[in-house]
């Protein structure tokens, strides 16, 4: 009697412990909830013989049945989608049981071991009409107390997590983490209206917003079955629109007495066009090219320009100011005939010295002529010009022609003759002899020796006095 009682306790232990472990260690079923047990109360039939089995589906762990070699078939009331299977083994030396899931057009097999007993096994099979239980060890037994097959029951998905936003004046970018399971896509609302209905990425940007405006966004997870999560709301307010960036590299490419040509580079962000002012008056309101020419100006006048960047919403930058002075009006009068120049002879060359003079109009430079032939390749703008390759001792006629700032040339100057020559070192003579030179040096030394003697004697006297004093103080 005591032995029988002990065996019953062991049997209960092997029944209860797997069930508890199965509750604690259920696999990931976040995509669905376990519905009702569709095997509950169903009657099984052995493959061999005409016996019917009810102890495996009666909900009583105290009853059991043994699988030998044949298959036990349990019909369901109607085809269902199943989500989980569990069995509780209580005896037998067999290590393996196969379970067959019969659907309308196929049979799916799952293999289970002793170690699977008591654990909920996730399965997702549609249209299951019946199952078969088969012991896979010949000569051994597989004793079961209960088998459970759970109907699939959808549950809403989880909400997104780690929602963050990056807000600008005209847009907002959201980042987040999608649920790991039971998730198909996001449905996003703005102020109660569907903004996007099939978002799968973990980033979403809403553009074209108005600055300094509040909006309420809602992010709803949708499962593969179409169920929706409760959703997460986020209220945001767009920021004030920043001023547009200023244009860059503004410079005057050309300045005349009637027009000024500017060039510059547009900014890359928050920019639509440029507005240009001259002396505080708008002269161009919608400039979309990177250069501007202002015509109809007056000569020798200073103008103040301001270039203002304008955004797509009409917001204006502070602007860049540029002051420009136009050239003076052209003076088309011919310069006076130049006269103030001279010629310096050199060895094989003549140097033409162009001296300052008023020729009636601003002068840009000069042309040099030797015997009526122009010898300079480009306009001479320096104060002197050397004409080389000439013959020493030969007379050359030098003339110049002035060119005004507006390229109007004067008449040729009068001829100034020049003769290239080799410079001669002049002979130097002295009015005194060697004796007079010696007497002069002697007299000079006699005049300075007292000064030299005095400058030596004073320091020497101090040295002698100091040493004498030290002698008596010992």
> What is the distance between the alpha carbons of residues 223 and 158, in angstroms, rounded to a whole number?
9
What radius of gyration, in Å, describes the C-alpha atoms of the chain? Answer: 56
In a domain, 304, yes or no: yes
Range of the domain at 397: 341-418
Supply the CATH number for residue 282's domain.
Answer: 2.60.40.10
117 within a domain of the structure (yes/no)? yes
Last residue of a domain, one of 107, 137, 154: 154
Residue with tokens 């009006």: 329
Work out the end-to-end distance of the chain between its first and last CA atoms, rounded to an integer number of angstroms.
136
Residues 59 and 186 in one domain: no
Mark whether 271 and 321 lie in a shared domain. yes
Q: Domain end: 418, 433, 448, which one?
A: 418
Question: Could you give the number of structural domains in the chain?
Answer: 4
Domain-located, residue 264? yes
The pTM assigned to this predicted structure is 0.48
Does residue 428 form part of some domain? no
> Among the three residues 108, 125, 154, which one is the final residue of a domain in this structure?
154
Residue 435 to residue 458: CA distance in whole angstroms: 36
Q: What is the pLDDT of residues 385-435, one digit of tens each?
A: 999 999 999 999 999 999 998 999 999 999 999 999 987 665 555 566 667
At 459 the pLDDT is 78
For 214, residues 6+ apart whose C-beta sits below 8 A from its C-beta are 235, 236, 237
In the chain, the percentage of residues whose pLDDT exceeds 90 is 72
pLDDT (0 to 100) of residue 48: 81
Residues 287 and 394 in one domain: no
| Same domain for 281 and 171 | no
* Residue position matching structure tokens 């078939």: 73
> In terms of domains, do 96 and 120 share one?
yes
Beta bridge partners of 91: 143
Residuewise pLDDT in 10s, the chain (474 residues): 444 454 445 444 444 444 343 333 333 444 556 789 999 999 999 888 778 999 999 999 999 999 887 899 999 999 999 999 999 999 999 999 999 999 998 999 999 999 999 999 999 999 999 999 999 988 788 999 999 999 988 889 999 999 999 999 999 999 999 999 999 999 999 999 999 999 999 999 999 999 999 999 999 999 998 999 999 999 999 999 899 999 999 999 999 999 999 999 999 988 999 999 999 999 999 999 999 999 999 999 999 999 999 998 899 999 999 999 999 898 899 999 999 899 999 999 999 999 889 999 999 999 999 999 999 999 999 999 999 999 999 999 999 999 998 999 999 999 999 999 987 665 555 566 667 667 777 777 677 767 777 777 777 777 777 777 666 665
């Amino acid at each position: 009697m005591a032995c029988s009682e002990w065996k019953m306790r062991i049997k209960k232990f092997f029944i209860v412990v797997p069930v508890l472990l199965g509750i604690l260690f259920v696999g990931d079923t976040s995509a669905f909830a376990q519905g009702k047990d569709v095997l509950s109360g169903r009657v099984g039939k052995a493959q061999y013989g005409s016996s019917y089995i009810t102890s495996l589906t009666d909900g009583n762990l105290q009853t059991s049945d043994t699988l030998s070699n044949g298959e036990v078939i349990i019909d369901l009331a109607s085809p269902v989608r199943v989500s989980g299977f569990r069995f509780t083994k209580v005896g037998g030396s067999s290590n393996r049981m196969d379970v067959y899931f019969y659907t309308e057009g196929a049979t799916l097999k799952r293999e289970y071991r002793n170690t699977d007993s008591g654990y909920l096994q996730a399965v997702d099979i549609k249209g299951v009409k019946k199952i078969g239980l088969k012991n896979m060890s010949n000569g051994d037994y597989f004793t079961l107390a209960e088998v459970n097959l759970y109907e699939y029951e959808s549950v809403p998905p989880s909400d997104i997590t780690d929602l963050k936003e990056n807000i600008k004046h005209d847009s907002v970018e959201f980042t987040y983490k999608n649920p790991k399971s039971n998730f198909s896509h996001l449905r996003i609302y703005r102020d109660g209206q569907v903004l996007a209905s099939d978002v799968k990425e973990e980033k979403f940007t809403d553009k074209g917003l108005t600055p300094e405006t509040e909006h309420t966004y809602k992010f709803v997870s949708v499962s593969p079955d179409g169920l929706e999560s409760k959703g997460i709301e986020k209220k945001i307010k767009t920021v004030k629109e920043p001023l547009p960036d200023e244009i860059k590299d503004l410079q005057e490419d050309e300045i005349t007495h009637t027009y000024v040509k500017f060039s510059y580079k547009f900014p890359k962000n928050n920019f639509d066009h440029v507005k240009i002012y001259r002396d505080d008056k708008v002269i161009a309101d919608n400039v979309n090219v990177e250069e501007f020419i202002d015509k109809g100006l007056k000569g020798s006048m200073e103008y103040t320009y301001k270039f203002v960047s304008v955004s797509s919403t009409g917001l204006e930058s502070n602007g860049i100011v540029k002051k420009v002075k136009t050239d003076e009006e052209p003076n088309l009068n011919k310069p006076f005939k130049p006269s103030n120049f001279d010629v310096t002879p050199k060895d094989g060359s003549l140097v033409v010295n162009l001296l300052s003079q008023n020729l009636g109009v601003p002068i840009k430079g000069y042309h040099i002529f030797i015997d009526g032939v122009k010898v300079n390749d480009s306009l001479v703008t320096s104060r002197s010009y050397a004409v080389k390759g000439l013959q020493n001792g030969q007379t050359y006629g030098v003339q110049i022609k002035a060119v005004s700032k507006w390229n109007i040339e004067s008449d040729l100057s009068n001829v100034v003759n020049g003769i290239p020559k080799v410079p001669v070192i002049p002979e130097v003579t002295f009015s005194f002899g060697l004796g007079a030179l010696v007497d002069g040096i002697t007299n000079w030394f006699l005049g300075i020796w007292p000064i030299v003697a005095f400058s030596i004697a004073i320091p020497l006297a101090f040295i002698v006095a100091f040493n004498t004093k030290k002698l008596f103080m010992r």
